[in-house]
Structure 1
Amino acid sequence: MVHAVGRISDLEPLDLDVAGVERDEREHLKLNGFLQSVSNPAVYAAGNAAAVGPALTSV
């Protein structure tokens, strides 16, 4: 899980490319409607790291 409320996500240390997790042009993770990575179903994201869904993980 990636949790990044109100911050610019620092995803580089996670080596998401190695895990096959796709990101968009703004470096958000590409997700389906369940906040699950479209390229690696074992990865979920929320908040500022997510391309879809609520901007705050606490919502």
Structure 2
Amino acid sequence: MADLPAHPDSADGPGTGSDRAAMTGGPRRKAMAGIAVAVVLVVLMLVLHLAGVFGPGSH
């Protein structure tokens, strides 16, 4: 009986685990970086507003 080919999701094949993780990690990493930058900007604006440096009445 002939051996069946390995399933693409199995860890038996060469390069299935790390290559697959590297391909899917890029967009997720970019999305998380974008969210982190947006949160930092919102917090910075909030702190500047509460300190009276940024916002209405700061002129």
TM-score (normalizing by structure 2): 0.18
- The structure richer in helix per residue is 2
Structure having the higher Rg: 2
